[in-house]
Structure 1
Amino acid sequence: MDESFFLLVLCFLAVIICKLLTRKKTKAHPLPPGPLGYPLLGCLPQMLKNKPTFRWIHKLMQDLNTEIACIRLGSIHVIAVTSPELAREFLKKQDSIFASRPDCMSGKLTSNGYLTAALSPIGDQWKKMRRVLASEVLSMNMHRWLYEKRCEEADHLIRYIYNQIKNPRKNGVVNVRIAAQHYCGNVIRRLVFNKRFFGKGMEDGGPGMEEEEHVAGLFTILSYLYGFSVADYAPWLEIFDFDGYKKFLKNAIENVTKYQDPEIIKRVEMWRKGERKVEEDILDVLINLKDSNFNPLLTIQEIRAQIVEIMIATVDNPSNAIEWAMAELLSTPDILEKAQKELDDVVGRNRLVEESDISSLNFVKACAREAFRLHPIAPFNVPHVSTKDTIVGGYFIPKGSHVLLSRPGLGRNPRVWDDPTSYNPERHIVNASSEVMLVDNDLNMLSFSTGRRGCAGVLLGSTMTTILLARLLQGFTWTELKGQKIDLTESHGDLFMAKPLIAHAAPRLNPHVYMKLLE
C-alpha cells in the first residue's frame, strides 16, 4: 500500500513538473488558439461528436477567426493551417523540423509497419524508400521508359467511352467518375504489373468485378488513412476500435492486396527461377534492385507495402480533379468552348492529343489546376510531425505536433484568391509566355505537396491529370442529360461531388480516329 501511494505521488509530481515546464516555454509564445480539452482525452469527445472531423475543425477556425488552430486530441497537439504564409514557414523555412510522419494505427497498417516512403516517420527506412522512388520508380528516365503503357491506357479511355456511345443501351450516357477513376487504376496497374485488368474486364473495355473491388479498396484506404480515428491519437484505445476505423481499414487493405500480392509473389518466383529475363514494368525494377553487395535491396514485404502506397497515391488526385473540372466546365459552356478550341488549335481533330502536346495546352492545364484549387481530393495533406519544439508565426509548436495544411483552406483563402468559390481557370494564366504548372510551390493551394516530404510523383500525376482532361475534352462533345442540371453540391462527409457526374458524350473527332482504336 505504501509503495503504491509513493508511485502515485511521483506520477502526480511528474505531471505538475511537466505542466510547469510547458508553461515556462509557452509564456512568451502561446500555443495557437483552440478549444480547451479534457485531461488525457483532450478534444477526442468533441471530435467523436462532431463528424466529419474536418468540417468541425474548419468551423472552429472560422468561429475563432484564425488561420492557425491547435486542437489537442489525446496527448497530440493537432495544428491546422489555412494560411499560405504559415504553410511556407512549416514546409519550406522549417522543413527539416516538420519532415516526419505520425506513429499511428492507420499509417502503420497501410504501410505494413512503416516500410514505405510517404508514410514512414523520418529515419533510415524513409531515406531508403524515398531514394528508391526518386531514382528508380519515378525518375525522368523511368517516365520515358513507361511512355507507351500510358499511351495505351489513354487510347483505351477513348475506346471505352466511344463504346458507350455506340451501345444502344447506354446511348452515350457516361459515368465520368467511373471513367476517370478506372483510367487512373488502369494506368498504374499497367505501369506496375504490365496489365490493365486483374480479371477479364468487360466487353466494352470497362472494369470488371476485380478492378471495381480493387479501386474501391484503394479509395476506402484513403478515406480512413489519417481519418481522425480515436486510435491514431489514443493508442491505448486501439484494441477497442470504438469508431470501427481499424476494421474498415484492414478489410480495405485486404481487398487491395488479395489482387496485388499474388502478382508480386508469382513475379519474384519467375525471376528466381530464371523464367523472366527482361524488365517490363515497375515491379520488375523493384525486384531486381541490388544493394552494394549485390543482394536484393528490397524484401518482398517492402515491395508489397510500397506498391500499395504507389496505388493509393495515383488513383485519387487526378480522377477527383477531372470529375470536378468536367462538372464545372459543363456548367460554364464558354469556358468549355475555350478549352476545346485550344485543343483544336494545338492538336486538331485528325489525331488524338498526346503527352508531347501538354506544354502547349496552357488553358487545359489551367482548368485542371483550378479544379485542384477549388475541389481538392482531401481536406488536409498527409500530417507532418515536428521533431522538436519550435516557434511558427509567433506561436509555440510543441515537439510531436501533427501539422495539417488545409487544402480547401489554402485554395479558397479569400486573402489570396479573388472570388475564391468561383471556377475561373484564367486566374492561373499569368501571361502568354509562362507555362501553367499543376503544382504550386508557394502553397497558395495544395495540389502536390512540397519540401522533403513533397510528392515524388508530381511528373506522373501532372501528366495523367492533363492527359485525362485533354482526352475527354478533345475526344467528345459533352452535354448535360436531358432535363437535368449539373449538381455541383459537395458531399458532406468528404470533398467528392455528392453525386457522380453523369453526362452525355458524342464523337467530335474525325471518324477515322475512333476506327483506328477499334482495329
Structure 2
Amino acid sequence: MLLPPGPAPWPLVRNLPHLLNNKPTFRWIHGFMKEMNTEIACIQLGNVHVIPVTSPEISKEFLKKHDAVFASRPITKASEYSSVEQWRNGEKKEAEDLLDVFISVKDSNGEPLLSVAEIKAQCTELMLAAVDNPSNAIEWALAEMINQPRVLGEAVEEIDRVVGKERLAQESDFQQLNYVKACIKEAFRLHPIAPFNLPHVSNADAIVAGYFIPKGSHVLLSRLGLGRNPRIWEEPLIFNPERHLSASRAQGVDLNEQDLRLISFSTGRRGCTGIAFGSAMTVMLLVRLLQGFTWSPPPGQEEIDLSESRNNLFLAKPLHALAKPRLHSSLYPLH
C-alpha cells in the first residue's frame, strides 16, 4: 500500500514490491506524481543494488570489437594495439579520426594522457550515447514531420536554400540550418530516449527550489516531465519546431538546453561529454535524409502511426515510410 505524503514537501513512497509490481515503473511513477499534484517525490528503496544495464557478456563482446579497430591500422611493427604504438613511437603524427585524437592527446608533461583501457572506455561511452539518442530522435522527428507536410516542406526548403541540390550537406552548413535543428530539438523535447536522466548522488544536504534534498539521495531528473511540462511549454504534446526558433533567434538553435526546460544531452559538470559529437551526428543524419529523399507514408496509409510503446518511449511500431530520391543519381553512393 502507498503511504500518505511524508514530511512536507515530499510525497513519500516506501513499498518496493508495490513499486516493482506496477510496470513499467517509470509510467507508474509519473502517474503517481500527477495524482499527488507534485513535481518532486521521494522513493525510499532501502538497501537495493542498482543492476547495470549492460551485462558483463555484452561488455566483453563490445570490447572485442574495439580490439579489432585498434589492431586494424597499417603497421610496421607487430603489436596488439598497433594504432597506439604508431603514435607512441612517432610513426604517426596526424589524426585521421576520433580514435587517433584520443591516442595522441598528451598531458602537461608531454606524456600520453589516456591509457588503452581509458581510450576504450571513452570510445564505448561515446558510441553508446551517440548512436541510441540521435537515432531515436531522428526516427521520431521524421515520423512527426511526415504527418505534418508543412513542417517537412519548411525543413526541405531551408536545406535547398542553404545547401542546394548540386552537393550533399556538410557540417559547415549546420549553422544556417536552424529550422532543421529546431525539428530535432522538438523531437528531443517531446520524445526523449529515456524517461529519466542518469542518477546523480547529492554529497551534502541541500535545498533546491524550496525542497530539502538529504545527503546521499539519488536524484533523477525526469526527461519526460521536463519536456512535457504544461507550465513551461504551450500545448506540450504537439510537435511544433517553431517554439525553439523564437527562443533562439539571436544565436541560432542549440540542441543542448542549458536552462533544463528539456534534456537532450544533459548539462553541467556531469553532463554528456559527447554533446558536440552527438549533435553533429544527429543533424547530419536528418539533413541527409531530408535532402536526399522525398518522404511520405507507405502506399495505402494516410499517416504514420505515432503511438508510443507502453514499455519504453520508442515508437510502438518501427517507422515505415516511402522514400523517393530527389537529387541527381551521381550524388548517391553506389555501395
TM-score (norm 1): 0.57
Match of residue 48, structure 1, among 10, 13, 20 = 20
Deviation at 1:246, TM superposition (A): 5.6
Superposed, 1:232-271 pairs within 5 Å as: 232=50, 249-264=55-70, 265-271=81-87
Give the distance between the partners of 1:426 and 1:293, measured in 2 at CA.
49
Match of residue 148, structure 2, among 308, 332, 341 = 332
Give the distance between the partners of 2:54 and 2:202, measured in 1 at CA.
29
The equivalent of 1:506 in structure 2 is 324
The equivalent of 2:113 in structure 1 is 297
Deviation at 1:421, TM superposition (A): 0.6
Q: 1:362 to 1:289 in 2, by over 3 A?
A: closer
Q: Which structure exhibits the higher relative contact order, with contacts defined as CA atoms closer than 8 Å and separated by 6 or more residues?
A: 1
- Deviation track 1:246-282 (CA, whole Å, cap 9, x = no partner) reads 6962232123112113433343355567665544333
Match of residue 430, structure 1, among 236, 246, 261 = 246
* Residue 154 of structure 2 corresponds to residue 322 of structure 1: no
Superposed, 1:132-147 pairs within 5 Å as: none
Give the distance between the partners of 1:348 and 1:274, measured in 2 at CA.
43
Q: 1:338 to 1:389 in 2, by over 3 A?
A: same
The equivalent of 2:297 in structure 1 is 480
Identity, % of aligned pairs? Answer: 57
Q: Which moved more, 1:56-65 or 1:405-414?
A: 56-65
Give the distance between the partners of 2:176 and 2:271, measured in 1 at CA.
26
Q: 1:432 to 1:266 in 2, by over 3 A?
A: closer
- Deviation track 1:120-147 (CA, whole Å, cap 9, x = no partner) reads xxxxxxxxxxxxxxxxxxxxxxxxxxxx
- Alignment partner of 1:68: what SS? coil
The letter of the residue matching 1:506 is K
The letter of the residue matching 1:496 is F
The letter of the residue matching 2:11 is P
Match of residue 446, structure 1, among 236, 239, 263 = 263
Superposed, 1:335-350 pairs within 5 Å as: 335-350=151-166
The letter of the residue matching 2:273 is A
Deviation at 1:46, TM superposition (A): 2.5
Match of residue 279, structure 2, among 446, 455, 462 = 462
The equivalent of 1:351 in structure 2 is 167
C-alpha contact (below 8 Å) 1:30/1:396 kept by paired residues:
no
- Alignment partner of 1:377: what SS? coil
- Deviation track 1:288-335 (CA, whole Å, cap 9, x = no partner) reads 444455544323222222221121121122111110000001111121
- Alignment partner of 1:422: what SS? coil
C-alpha contact (below 8 Å) 1:31/1:397 kept by paired residues:
no
C-alpha contact (below 8 Å) 1:322/1:465 kept by paired residues:
yes
The equivalent of 2:3 in structure 1 is none
TM-score (norm 2): 0.86
C-alpha contact (below 8 Å) 2:126/2:274 kept by paired residues:
no
Which entry has the higher C-alpha Rg, 1 or 2? 1
Q: 1:59 to 1:287 in 2, by over 3 A?
A: same
Give the distance between the partners of 1:447 and 1:310, measured in 2 at CA.
15
Give the distance between the partners of 2:53 and 2:149, measured in 1 at CA.
45
- How large is the Cα RMSD of the aligned pairs? 2.5
The structure with the greater share of residues assigned to helix is 1
Q: 1:293 to 1:442 in 2, by over 3 A?
A: closer
Give the distance between the partners of 1:312 and 1:417, measured in 2 at CA.
30
C-alpha contact (below 8 Å) 2:293/2:325 kept by paired residues:
yes
Give the distance between the partners of 1:431 and 1:269, measured in 2 at CA.
48
Q: 1:358 to 1:271 in 2, by over 3 A?
A: closer
Match of residue 33, structure 1, among 3, 6, 11 = 11
Deviation at 1:71, TM superposition (A): 0.7
Give the distance between the partners of 1:273 and 1:440, measured in 2 at CA.
42
Give the distance between the partners of 1:421 and 1:247, measured in 2 at CA.
29
* Residue 94 of structure 2 corresponds to residue 284 of structure 1: no
